[in-house]
Structure 1
Amino acid sequence: MSQTILITGAGRGLGRELALQSHARGDRVLATMRAPERAADLPPEIEIYRLEVTKSESTAALASELKGEAVDLLVCNAGVFPGRGGLREANCSELDWFAGLMTNVAGPYFTVRDLLPNLQLSQHPRVAIIASVMGSNQNAAGGSYIYRASKAAAINLARNLAVELAPLGIAVGAYHPGWVRTDMGTEAAPVDVNHSATGLLERFAELSVETTGAFEDYLGNPVAF
Protein backbone atom coordinates (compact mmCIF):
# COMPACT_ATOMS: atom_id res chain seq x y z
CA MET A 1 0.00 0.00 0.00
CA SER A 2 1.30 3.44 -0.94
CA GLN A 3 2.26 5.73 1.93
CA THR A 4 3.65 9.19 2.48
CA ILE A 5 7.20 9.05 3.77
CA LEU A 6 9.23 12.07 4.85
CA ILE A 7 13.00 11.59 4.98
CA THR A 8 15.46 14.05 6.49
CA GLY A 9 18.98 14.25 5.11
CA ALA A 10 17.83 12.92 1.74
CA GLY A 11 20.29 14.85 -0.41
CA ARG A 12 22.90 12.10 -0.49
CA GLY A 13 24.00 8.77 0.91
CA LEU A 14 21.55 6.60 2.80
CA GLY A 15 18.78 9.21 2.85
CA ARG A 16 18.91 9.57 -0.91
CA GLU A 17 18.78 5.80 -1.40
CA LEU A 18 15.82 5.50 0.97
CA ALA A 19 14.05 8.18 -1.06
CA LEU A 20 14.79 6.44 -4.38
CA GLN A 21 13.66 3.01 -3.19
CA SER A 22 10.51 4.41 -1.58
CA HIS A 23 9.63 6.26 -4.78
CA ALA A 24 10.30 3.16 -6.88
CA ARG A 25 7.79 1.12 -4.89
CA GLY A 26 5.09 3.76 -5.29
CA ASP A 27 5.29 5.84 -2.13
CA ARG A 28 4.83 9.58 -2.04
CA VAL A 29 8.26 10.81 -0.96
CA LEU A 30 8.98 14.11 0.77
CA ALA A 31 12.76 14.51 0.66
CA THR A 32 14.25 17.16 2.93
CA MET A 33 17.80 18.48 2.95
CA ARG A 34 19.90 21.52 3.77
CA ALA A 35 20.72 22.24 0.13
CA PRO A 36 17.98 21.24 -2.33
CA GLU A 37 20.31 22.06 -5.22
CA ARG A 38 21.99 18.71 -4.46
CA ALA A 39 18.80 16.95 -5.50
CA ALA A 40 19.06 17.63 -9.21
CA ASP A 41 19.31 13.93 -10.03
CA LEU A 42 16.28 12.82 -7.99
CA PRO A 43 13.14 11.85 -9.93
CA PRO A 44 10.85 14.85 -10.46
CA GLU A 45 7.99 13.09 -8.64
CA ILE A 46 9.92 13.24 -5.38
CA GLU A 47 8.93 16.38 -3.49
CA ILE A 48 11.92 18.33 -2.22
CA TYR A 49 11.94 20.63 0.80
CA ARG A 50 14.69 22.69 2.38
CA LEU A 51 15.23 21.74 6.03
CA GLU A 52 17.93 22.48 8.58
CA VAL A 53 17.10 20.07 11.40
CA THR A 54 19.25 21.92 13.94
CA LYS A 55 17.03 25.00 13.72
CA SER A 56 13.59 24.77 15.29
CA GLU A 57 12.34 27.61 13.10
CA SER A 58 13.17 25.47 10.05
CA THR A 59 11.27 22.41 11.29
CA ALA A 60 8.37 24.66 12.28
CA ALA A 61 8.35 26.22 8.81
CA LEU A 62 8.23 22.77 7.21
CA ALA A 63 5.34 21.80 9.45
CA SER A 64 3.50 24.95 8.41
CA GLU A 65 4.13 24.16 4.75
CA LEU A 66 2.75 20.63 5.23
CA LYS A 67 -0.17 21.65 7.45
CA GLY A 68 -3.12 19.29 7.05
CA GLU A 69 -1.12 16.60 5.21
CA ALA A 70 -0.68 13.15 6.73
CA VAL A 71 2.80 11.71 7.15
CA ASP A 72 2.71 7.93 7.53
CA LEU A 73 6.43 7.40 8.09
CA LEU A 74 8.94 9.96 9.33
CA VAL A 75 12.56 8.89 8.87
CA CYS A 76 14.99 10.97 10.91
CA ASN A 77 18.12 10.24 8.91
CA ALA A 78 20.03 13.55 8.86
CA GLY A 79 23.31 13.12 10.68
CA VAL A 80 26.94 14.17 10.96
CA PHE A 81 30.13 12.44 12.15
CA PRO A 82 32.56 15.05 13.51
CA GLY A 83 35.68 14.33 15.50
CA ARG A 84 36.87 10.92 14.37
CA GLY A 85 39.70 9.46 16.40
CA GLY A 86 40.59 9.06 20.05
CA LEU A 87 40.72 11.50 22.93
CA ARG A 88 44.20 12.77 22.00
CA GLU A 89 43.71 12.59 18.23
CA ALA A 90 40.40 14.17 17.31
CA ASN A 91 40.97 17.58 18.98
CA CYS A 92 37.23 18.24 18.99
CA SER A 93 36.11 21.81 19.43
CA GLU A 94 32.97 23.24 21.01
CA LEU A 95 31.56 23.67 17.51
CA ASP A 96 32.19 20.01 16.71
CA TRP A 97 30.22 18.97 19.79
CA PHE A 98 27.49 21.47 18.98
CA ALA A 99 27.15 20.17 15.41
CA GLY A 100 27.08 16.53 16.50
CA LEU A 101 24.55 16.87 19.29
CA MET A 102 22.32 19.38 17.54
CA THR A 103 22.14 17.40 14.31
CA ASN A 104 21.99 13.84 15.65
CA VAL A 105 19.86 14.44 18.76
CA ALA A 106 18.08 17.80 18.71
CA GLY A 107 17.36 17.37 14.99
CA PRO A 108 15.10 14.32 15.45
CA TYR A 109 13.52 15.94 18.49
CA PHE A 110 12.58 19.15 16.64
CA THR A 111 11.40 17.22 13.59
CA VAL A 112 9.16 14.82 15.50
CA ARG A 113 7.79 17.58 17.72
CA ASP A 114 6.84 19.88 14.86
CA LEU A 115 5.51 17.17 12.54
CA LEU A 116 3.45 15.49 15.27
CA PRO A 117 0.16 16.91 13.86
CA ASN A 118 1.02 15.38 10.48
CA LEU A 119 1.74 12.00 12.03
CA GLN A 120 -1.55 12.12 13.90
CA LEU A 121 -3.38 12.43 10.57
CA SER A 122 -2.05 9.01 9.49
CA GLN A 123 -3.85 5.72 10.03
CA HIS A 124 -0.58 3.95 10.92
CA PRO A 125 1.99 6.60 11.93
CA ARG A 126 5.59 5.56 12.50
CA VAL A 127 8.86 7.31 13.32
CA ALA A 128 12.21 5.76 12.44
CA ILE A 129 15.33 7.30 13.97
CA ILE A 130 18.59 6.30 12.32
CA ALA A 131 20.90 5.50 15.21
CA SER A 132 24.03 3.35 15.33
CA VAL A 133 25.49 0.38 17.14
CA MET A 134 28.26 2.84 18.04
CA GLY A 135 25.78 4.42 20.46
CA SER A 136 25.31 1.14 22.34
CA ASN A 137 26.91 0.94 25.80
CA GLN A 138 27.44 -2.75 25.10
CA ASN A 139 29.67 -1.91 22.14
CA ALA A 140 31.91 0.74 23.66
CA ALA A 141 35.30 0.74 21.94
CA GLY A 142 36.67 4.21 22.62
CA GLY A 143 37.17 7.01 20.11
CA SER A 144 34.65 8.90 17.97
CA TYR A 145 33.27 10.40 21.16
CA ILE A 146 30.88 12.93 19.65
CA TYR A 147 29.28 10.42 17.32
CA ARG A 148 29.03 7.71 19.96
CA ALA A 149 27.55 10.06 22.56
CA SER A 150 25.09 11.59 20.10
CA LYS A 151 23.87 8.23 18.83
CA ALA A 152 23.47 6.95 22.40
CA ALA A 153 21.33 10.00 23.06
CA ALA A 154 19.38 9.38 19.84
CA ILE A 155 18.54 5.85 20.98
CA ASN A 156 17.45 7.21 24.35
CA LEU A 157 15.34 9.82 22.56
CA ALA A 158 13.65 7.12 20.48
CA ARG A 159 12.91 5.01 23.55
CA ASN A 160 11.33 7.93 25.39
CA LEU A 161 9.36 9.11 22.36
CA ALA A 162 8.04 5.56 22.03
CA VAL A 163 6.64 5.74 25.56
CA GLU A 164 5.10 9.19 25.18
CA LEU A 165 3.62 8.65 21.71
CA ALA A 166 2.26 5.12 22.18
CA PRO A 167 -1.07 6.41 23.59
CA LEU A 168 -1.44 8.40 20.35
CA GLY A 169 -0.93 5.26 18.27
CA ILE A 170 2.45 6.43 16.99
CA ALA A 171 5.22 3.80 16.89
CA VAL A 172 8.88 4.80 17.22
CA GLY A 173 11.97 2.73 16.50
CA ALA A 174 15.74 3.24 16.43
CA TYR A 175 17.78 1.56 13.70
CA HIS A 176 21.40 0.71 13.00
CA PRO A 177 21.92 0.90 9.22
CA GLY A 178 25.18 -1.01 9.28
CA TRP A 179 28.56 0.47 8.41
CA VAL A 180 27.51 1.80 5.02
CA ARG A 181 29.65 2.89 2.08
CA THR A 182 28.74 6.59 1.84
CA ASP A 183 30.63 9.85 2.19
CA MET A 184 30.15 9.53 5.95
CA GLY A 185 30.85 5.81 6.15
CA THR A 186 33.83 5.97 3.73
CA GLU A 187 34.79 3.45 1.07
CA ALA A 188 36.13 1.12 3.78
CA ALA A 189 32.58 0.27 4.91
CA PRO A 190 31.42 -3.28 4.12
CA VAL A 191 27.69 -2.61 3.58
CA ASP A 192 26.34 -1.35 0.24
CA VAL A 193 23.91 1.56 0.59
CA ASN A 194 21.32 -0.26 -1.53
CA HIS A 195 21.40 -3.29 0.74
CA SER A 196 21.12 -1.16 3.88
CA ALA A 197 18.20 0.89 2.57
CA THR A 198 16.31 -2.22 1.45
CA GLY A 199 16.67 -3.79 4.88
CA LEU A 200 15.72 -0.62 6.70
CA LEU A 201 12.53 -0.16 4.68
CA GLU A 202 11.57 -3.73 5.58
CA ARG A 203 12.18 -2.96 9.25
CA PHE A 204 10.12 0.25 9.08
CA ALA A 205 7.22 -1.70 7.55
CA GLU A 206 7.25 -4.06 10.55
CA LEU A 207 7.21 -1.26 13.14
CA SER A 208 3.96 -1.00 15.09
CA VAL A 209 2.66 0.10 18.47
CA GLU A 210 3.25 -3.50 19.60
CA THR A 211 6.97 -3.27 18.72
CA THR A 212 7.49 0.42 19.52
CA GLY A 213 10.76 1.21 21.27
CA ALA A 214 12.67 -1.36 19.23
CA PHE A 215 16.39 -0.88 18.54
CA GLU A 216 17.54 -3.18 15.78
CA ASP A 217 19.84 -3.33 12.79
CA TYR A 218 18.90 -3.23 9.12
CA LEU A 219 18.67 -7.03 9.04
CA GLY A 220 16.19 -7.13 11.91
CA ASN A 221 18.60 -8.23 14.63
CA PRO A 222 17.96 -6.66 18.07
CA VAL A 223 20.80 -4.41 19.24
CA ALA A 224 21.64 -4.28 22.95
CA PHE A 225 21.69 -0.76 24.32
Structure 2
Amino acid sequence: MPQTILITGTSRGLGRELAIQAQQRGDRVIATMRAPHASPALPPEIEVLPLEVTKTDAHAELARQMEGVAIDLLVCSAGVFPGRGGLREAQCTELDWFIGLMTNVAGPYFAVRALLPNLRLAGRAKVAIISSAMGSSENAAGGSYIYRASKAGAVNLARNLAVELAPLGIAVGAYHPGWVRTDMGTGAAPVDLNHSATGLLERFAELSSETSGIFEDYLGNPIPF
Protein backbone atom coordinates (compact mmCIF):
# COMPACT_ATOMS: atom_id res chain seq x y z
CA MET A 1 0.00 0.00 0.00
CA PRO A 2 1.50 3.39 -1.00
CA GLN A 3 2.72 5.59 1.82
CA THR A 4 3.69 9.22 2.29
CA ILE A 5 7.36 9.32 3.21
CA LEU A 6 9.43 12.36 4.15
CA ILE A 7 13.19 11.91 3.93
CA THR A 8 15.82 14.41 5.09
CA GLY A 9 19.27 14.71 3.54
CA THR A 10 18.39 13.71 -0.03
CA SER A 11 20.85 15.81 -2.01
CA ARG A 12 23.22 12.85 -2.41
CA GLY A 13 24.16 9.40 -1.19
CA LEU A 14 21.87 7.25 0.88
CA GLY A 15 19.07 9.78 1.36
CA ARG A 16 18.84 10.35 -2.38
CA GLU A 17 18.78 6.61 -3.13
CA LEU A 18 16.09 5.99 -0.50
CA ALA A 19 13.94 8.72 -2.05
CA ILE A 20 14.32 7.31 -5.56
CA GLN A 21 13.60 3.72 -4.56
CA ALA A 22 10.59 4.68 -2.45
CA GLN A 23 9.13 6.71 -5.33
CA GLN A 24 9.76 3.90 -7.80
CA ARG A 25 7.77 1.46 -5.68
CA GLY A 26 4.80 3.84 -5.67
CA ASP A 27 5.13 5.91 -2.51
CA ARG A 28 4.58 9.63 -2.31
CA VAL A 29 8.01 10.98 -1.42
CA ILE A 30 8.81 14.39 0.03
CA ALA A 31 12.56 14.91 -0.13
CA THR A 32 14.31 17.63 1.84
CA MET A 33 17.78 19.04 1.38
CA ARG A 34 19.75 22.11 2.35
CA ALA A 35 19.97 23.70 -1.11
CA PRO A 36 17.65 22.14 -3.72
CA HIS A 37 18.71 24.49 -6.50
CA ALA A 38 22.38 23.60 -6.03
CA SER A 39 21.82 19.83 -5.90
CA PRO A 40 21.36 17.21 -8.64
CA ALA A 41 17.73 16.96 -9.68
CA LEU A 42 15.58 14.13 -8.37
CA PRO A 43 12.84 12.52 -10.49
CA PRO A 44 10.03 15.03 -11.08
CA GLU A 45 7.52 12.84 -9.23
CA ILE A 46 9.40 13.51 -5.98
CA GLU A 47 8.45 16.66 -4.08
CA VAL A 48 11.53 18.60 -2.98
CA LEU A 49 11.55 21.08 -0.11
CA PRO A 50 14.43 23.02 1.46
CA LEU A 51 15.54 22.13 4.98
CA GLU A 52 18.64 23.00 6.97
CA VAL A 53 18.34 20.35 9.67
CA THR A 54 20.32 22.29 12.27
CA LYS A 55 17.88 25.23 12.24
CA THR A 56 14.66 25.23 14.23
CA ASP A 57 13.17 28.00 12.10
CA ALA A 58 13.74 25.88 8.99
CA HIS A 59 11.84 23.01 10.61
CA ALA A 60 9.06 25.40 11.55
CA GLU A 61 8.77 26.47 7.93
CA LEU A 62 8.74 22.84 6.80
CA ALA A 63 5.96 22.11 9.29
CA ARG A 64 4.00 25.06 7.91
CA GLN A 65 4.34 23.74 4.36
CA MET A 66 3.34 20.25 5.50
CA GLU A 67 0.33 21.34 7.53
CA GLY A 68 -2.50 18.83 7.22
CA VAL A 69 -0.37 16.21 5.41
CA ALA A 70 -0.23 12.80 7.08
CA ILE A 71 3.29 11.34 7.13
CA ASP A 72 3.44 7.56 7.38
CA LEU A 73 7.23 7.37 7.60
CA LEU A 74 9.80 9.99 8.53
CA VAL A 75 13.36 9.03 7.60
CA CYS A 76 16.07 11.15 9.22
CA SER A 77 18.96 10.55 6.83
CA ALA A 78 20.84 13.86 6.85
CA GLY A 79 24.31 13.37 8.28
CA VAL A 80 27.91 14.55 8.30
CA PHE A 81 31.25 12.88 9.10
CA PRO A 82 33.80 15.46 10.29
CA GLY A 83 37.17 14.51 11.78
CA ARG A 84 38.08 10.91 10.95
CA GLY A 85 41.31 10.68 12.93
CA GLY A 86 42.26 10.44 16.60
CA LEU A 87 42.95 12.99 19.30
CA ARG A 88 45.36 14.89 17.08
CA GLU A 89 42.85 15.23 14.24
CA ALA A 90 43.01 18.88 13.16
CA GLN A 91 39.39 18.86 11.99
CA CYS A 92 38.02 18.12 15.46
CA THR A 93 37.47 21.79 16.24
CA GLU A 94 34.67 23.43 18.21
CA LEU A 95 32.87 24.12 14.96
CA ASP A 96 33.27 20.53 13.76
CA TRP A 97 31.82 19.22 17.02
CA PHE A 98 28.95 21.69 16.78
CA ILE A 99 28.12 20.76 13.19
CA GLY A 100 28.43 17.02 13.86
CA LEU A 101 26.20 16.96 16.92
CA MET A 102 23.68 19.45 15.58
CA THR A 103 23.31 17.60 12.28
CA ASN A 104 23.41 13.99 13.44
CA VAL A 105 21.57 14.27 16.77
CA ALA A 106 19.68 17.56 17.03
CA GLY A 107 18.56 17.35 13.39
CA PRO A 108 16.42 14.23 13.89
CA TYR A 109 15.10 15.62 17.17
CA PHE A 110 13.99 18.88 15.53
CA ALA A 111 12.40 16.97 12.62
CA VAL A 112 10.35 14.68 14.85
CA ARG A 113 9.24 17.57 17.04
CA ALA A 114 8.22 19.73 14.09
CA LEU A 115 6.43 16.97 12.18
CA LEU A 116 4.76 15.22 15.12
CA PRO A 117 1.30 16.54 14.10
CA ASN A 118 1.82 15.00 10.65
CA LEU A 119 2.89 11.68 12.14
CA ARG A 120 -0.15 11.64 14.40
CA LEU A 121 -2.43 12.27 11.40
CA ALA A 122 -1.14 9.06 9.80
CA GLY A 123 -2.24 6.87 12.67
CA ARG A 124 0.43 4.23 13.23
CA ALA A 125 3.34 6.17 11.81
CA LYS A 126 7.05 5.33 11.91
CA VAL A 127 10.31 7.22 12.40
CA ALA A 128 13.60 5.82 11.07
CA ILE A 129 16.83 7.45 12.24
CA ILE A 130 19.94 6.60 10.25
CA SER A 131 22.71 5.94 12.75
CA SER A 132 25.80 3.75 12.40
CA ALA A 133 27.46 0.73 13.98
CA MET A 134 30.22 3.23 14.80
CA GLY A 135 27.84 4.56 17.43
CA SER A 136 27.95 1.27 19.32
CA SER A 137 29.84 1.62 22.61
CA GLU A 138 30.35 -2.15 22.74
CA ASN A 139 32.17 -2.01 19.39
CA ALA A 140 34.38 0.97 20.24
CA ALA A 141 37.53 1.14 18.11
CA GLY A 142 38.85 4.65 18.76
CA GLY A 143 39.12 7.58 16.37
CA SER A 144 36.37 9.41 14.47
CA TYR A 145 35.21 10.80 17.79
CA ILE A 146 32.65 13.30 16.53
CA TYR A 147 30.95 10.79 14.26
CA ARG A 148 30.98 7.99 16.82
CA ALA A 149 29.62 10.21 19.61
CA SER A 150 26.94 11.73 17.39
CA LYS A 151 25.75 8.38 16.08
CA ALA A 152 25.63 7.00 19.63
CA GLY A 153 23.54 10.03 20.47
CA ALA A 154 21.27 9.28 17.52
CA VAL A 155 20.60 5.77 18.83
CA ASN A 156 19.94 7.10 22.33
CA LEU A 157 17.57 9.66 20.82
CA ALA A 158 15.71 6.95 18.89
CA ARG A 159 15.28 4.76 21.96
CA ASN A 160 13.97 7.60 24.09
CA LEU A 161 11.63 8.78 21.35
CA ALA A 162 10.34 5.21 21.11
CA VAL A 163 9.32 5.41 24.76
CA GLU A 164 7.69 8.82 24.54
CA LEU A 165 5.86 8.16 21.28
CA ALA A 166 4.63 4.66 22.13
CA PRO A 167 1.34 5.93 23.60
CA LEU A 168 0.71 7.69 20.28
CA GLY A 169 1.23 4.49 18.30
CA ILE A 170 4.39 5.85 16.62
CA ALA A 171 7.27 3.37 16.26
CA VAL A 172 10.90 4.51 16.15
CA GLY A 173 14.00 2.63 14.99
CA ALA A 174 17.71 3.36 14.58
CA TYR A 175 19.52 1.82 11.62
CA HIS A 176 23.05 1.12 10.42
CA PRO A 177 23.14 1.31 6.60
CA GLY A 178 26.43 -0.54 6.36
CA TRP A 179 29.69 0.98 5.21
CA VAL A 180 28.30 2.28 1.93
CA ARG A 181 30.13 3.47 -1.18
CA THR A 182 29.17 7.16 -1.19
CA ASP A 183 31.05 10.46 -0.99
CA MET A 184 30.92 10.09 2.78
CA GLY A 185 31.69 6.38 2.87
CA THR A 186 34.42 6.64 0.19
CA GLY A 187 35.09 4.25 -2.66
CA ALA A 188 36.71 1.77 -0.27
CA ALA A 189 33.36 0.88 1.29
CA PRO A 190 32.16 -2.69 0.62
CA VAL A 191 28.38 -2.09 0.51
CA ASP A 192 26.63 -1.03 -2.68
CA LEU A 193 24.35 2.00 -2.27
CA ASN A 194 21.40 0.34 -4.00
CA HIS A 195 21.70 -2.77 -1.82
CA SER A 196 21.81 -0.70 1.39
CA ALA A 197 18.78 1.40 0.49
CA THR A 198 16.75 -1.66 -0.54
CA GLY A 199 17.54 -3.38 2.74
CA LEU A 200 16.73 -0.30 4.79
CA LEU A 201 13.33 0.13 3.15
CA GLU A 202 12.59 -3.49 4.01
CA ARG A 203 13.63 -2.86 7.63
CA PHE A 204 11.40 0.23 7.84
CA ALA A 205 8.46 -1.84 6.57
CA GLU A 206 9.03 -4.36 9.37
CA LEU A 207 9.22 -1.71 12.12
CA SER A 208 6.21 -1.87 14.45
CA SER A 209 5.11 -1.01 17.95
CA GLU A 210 6.45 -4.41 19.03
CA THR A 211 9.96 -3.66 17.72
CA SER A 212 10.06 0.08 18.45
CA GLY A 213 13.43 1.14 19.87
CA ILE A 214 15.33 -1.34 17.71
CA PHE A 215 18.92 -0.75 16.56
CA GLU A 216 19.79 -2.95 13.60
CA ASP A 217 21.63 -2.94 10.29
CA TYR A 218 20.20 -2.88 6.77
CA LEU A 219 20.07 -6.68 6.73
CA GLY A 220 18.10 -6.91 9.96
CA ASN A 221 20.99 -7.92 12.23
CA PRO A 222 20.72 -6.43 15.74
CA ILE A 223 23.56 -4.15 16.82
CA PRO A 224 24.66 -3.97 20.48
CA PHE A 225 24.52 -0.49 21.89
TM-score if structure 2 supplies the norm length? 0.98
Deviation at residue 92 of structure 1 after TM alignment: 1.2
1:151 aligns with 151
Deviation at residue 41 of structure 1 after TM alignment: 3.0
Whole-angstrom CA distance in 2 between matches of 1:41 and 1:163: 37
Matches within 5 A, 1:104-115: 104-115=104-115
Deviation at residue 42 of structure 1 after TM alignment: 1.2
TM-score if structure 1 supplies the norm length? 0.98
Q: Cα gap change, 1:203/1:38 in structure 2, threshold over 3 Å: closer, same or farther?
A: farther
- 1:81/1:100 contact within 8 Å kept: yes
Asked if residue 135 in structure 1 is aligned to residue 135 in structure 2, the reply is: yes
Of 13-22 and 29-38, the range deviating more from structure 2: 29-38
Matches within 5 A, 1:57-96: 57-96=57-96
Deviation at residue 17 of structure 1 after TM alignment: 0.2
- 1:2/1:26 contact within 8 Å kept: yes
- The aligned length equals 225
SS at match of 2:138: helix
- 1:85/1:143 contact within 8 Å kept: yes
Whole-angstrom CA distance in 2 between matches of 1:100 and 1:93: 10
Deviation at residue 90 of structure 1 after TM alignment: 4.0
- 1:53/1:110 contact within 8 Å kept: yes
1:169 aligns with 169
Whole-angstrom CA distance in 2 between matches of 1:124 and 1:222: 23
Matches within 5 A, 1:24-103: 24-103=24-103
Q: Cα gap change, 1:164/1:67 in structure 2, threshold over 3 Å: closer, same or farther?
A: same
1:190 aligns with 190
- In structure 2, list runs of 5 or more residues that go unmatched: none
1:21 aligns with 21
Whole-angstrom CA distance in 1 between matches of 2:91 and 2:65: 40
Deviation at residue 123 of structure 1 after TM alignment: 2.8
The percent of aligned pairs where both chains have the same amino acid is 77
Deviation at residue 37 of structure 1 after TM alignment: 1.8
- 1:77/1:130 contact within 8 Å kept: yes
SS at match of 2:5: strand
Deviation at residue 40 of structure 1 after TM alignment: 4.2
- 1:173/1:213 contact within 8 Å kept: yes
Whole-angstrom CA distance in 1 between matches of 2:89 and 2:19: 36
Whole-angstrom CA distance in 2 between matches of 1:143 and 1:90: 12
- 1:84/1:90 contact within 8 Å kept: no
Q: Cα gap change, 1:133/1:72 in structure 2, threshold over 3 Å: closer, same or farther?
A: same
